[in-house]
Amino acid sequence: MLKGLEVKALAKKIIDQKSLKRDYVVPTSLSTLLVLPPLEGEIKKQIVMETTEGTFPLQPLAHDQIGAHTRIPAPYYDRMLAEAPDLLATNVNAWHRINPARRMVRTLKRVPKKEGEKEVADLRAFLSDRYQRIENDAIAEAALPVLYDLPGMRIVSSEVTDKRLYIHFVVDTIQGEVKRGDVVQAGGIIQNSEVGCGAASVSGLLWRLICLNGMKTGDTFRRHHVGRKISEDGEMDWADDTRQADDKVVLLKIRDMVKAVVDETKFRVNLQKMQGLTEGKITGDPSKAVEVLAQAVGTSDTEKGSILRSLVEGGDLSAWGLLNAVTAQSHTARSYDRAVELEAAGGMLLDLPHSEWRKVLEAA
């Protein structure tokens, strides 16, 4: 798993971002995508959205969400963005006026790099006006005190990306051997997205000590960010009592599920599954086995090559060896988000039916 941030650095990043956030509800009929000249010293043109609440440069995720809202196919949207931004603006603005709607725009101010630098707030998300804002700082405040009350708890990795918050933790007191010397521990992953990239959730984590790989098991608690419709335009009040009441229910469940996710009985069931995978040996061609496996979990060609290399270097030509060859890619993933996706792929393989594993192990 990628190292991510130490807990103090994670807390600082969350706190720093809290003061830089602003949310607005804006009508698309009065919002315009604009293409501006490049900034001094740059080549690419600027693409911003002018709204009733200000003008905001767009982050990549906001482009994806605007494309989804306007139903412009992603490959065409991306091509216009790269090669014909003025055409992109014409398309988006036309669809915003043909199908007017109210959208929540979530913005984040950039930290000035030098004194006197003009303040700029980026548009980081373009969402439904029913989007329930469950903030990273609230998740951390609810979860961390409970975590530190768990005997033997360690936070092994954490991060705040442009898309999500992640906190990986393990409990040293709940562990077992998959095979001699191959110890795994029980733990969990707390996740949240402030920008529409997934629910607030607490998932199980199985942490392998030999290589510090993890596999994400099924969600114990998952709450999508769907809340009350905002009744009026303009800046949204971060201290709104009604929103806080709605959030409190979610945060209390997060707190309770942090404790529930490290259940020893569930861990023992998963340990038996892992032990069973050691008995399934590759009887076909290892490279073909990796090919079939890669299709099942959805890896890139580069990742597929790395999985085969990890399998050969690990010297364990079993289903267990294949699973760990997949989760090993989380150490070198292109992003923290992708590293967690690879952990989830490991959890999916743990529950793969025997018939599907047979197809992998016998591939020739």
- The per-residue pLDDT for 225 is 56
Q: 322 pairs with which residues across the strands?
A: none
Q: Tell me the residue type at 347.
A: G
- The per-residue pLDDT for 215 is 86
- The per-residue pLDDT for 15 is 93
Flag whether 348 is in a domain: yes
Token pair recorded at residue 182: 């191959």
For the chain, the domain total comes to 3
pLDDT tens digits for range 156-194: 999 999 999 999 999 999 999 999 999 999 999 999 999
pLDDT tens digits for range 50-80: 999 999 999 999 999 999 999 999 999 999 9
Token pair recorded at residue 99: 């199908």
- The per-residue pLDDT for 116 is 66
Residues 93 and 168 in one domain: no
Residues 70 and 150 in one domain: no
Residues 228 and 309 in one domain: no
Flag whether 147 is in a domain: yes
Flag whether 183 is in a domain: yes
CA distance 330 to 189: 15
Residues 117 and 245 in one domain: no
Flag whether 6 is in a domain: no
Contact 104, 230 (CB under 8 A): yes
The parent domain of residue 296 ranges over: 278-361
Flag whether 10 is in a domain: no
Q: Which of 98, 128, 158 is the last residue of a domain?
A: 128
Residues 151 and 121 in one domain: no
Flag whether 11 is in a domain: no
Q: Which of 273, 290, 312 is the last residue of a domain?
A: 273
Residues 149 and 251 in one domain: yes
Q: Which of 273, 298, 322 is the last residue of a domain?
A: 273
Contact 251, 138 (CB under 8 A): yes
- The per-residue pLDDT for 241 is 59
Q: Is 216 exposed, middle or buried (0-12, 13-18, 19+ CB in 10 A)?
A: buried
CA distance 216 to 232: 40
- The per-residue pLDDT for 238 is 44
- What values do phi and psi take at 234, rounded to 5? 105, -175
Residues 242 and 347 in one domain: no
DSSP 62-90: HHHHHHHHHT--HHHHHHHHHH-HHHHHH
- The per-residue pLDDT for 252 is 84
| First-residue to last-residue Cα distance in the chain | 31
Residues 160 and 243 in one domain: yes
Residues 165 and 106 in one domain: no
Residue numbers of the chain with a pLDDT score lower than 70: 116, 219, 221-246
- The per-residue pLDDT for 213 is 80
Residues 264 and 284 in one domain: no
Tell me which residue of 55, 45, 110 sits closest to 84, measured CA to CA. 45
- The per-residue pLDDT for 234 is 47
Flag whether 350 is in a domain: yes
Residues 156 and 261 in one domain: yes
Flag whether 7 is in a domain: no
Residues 55 and 123 in one domain: yes
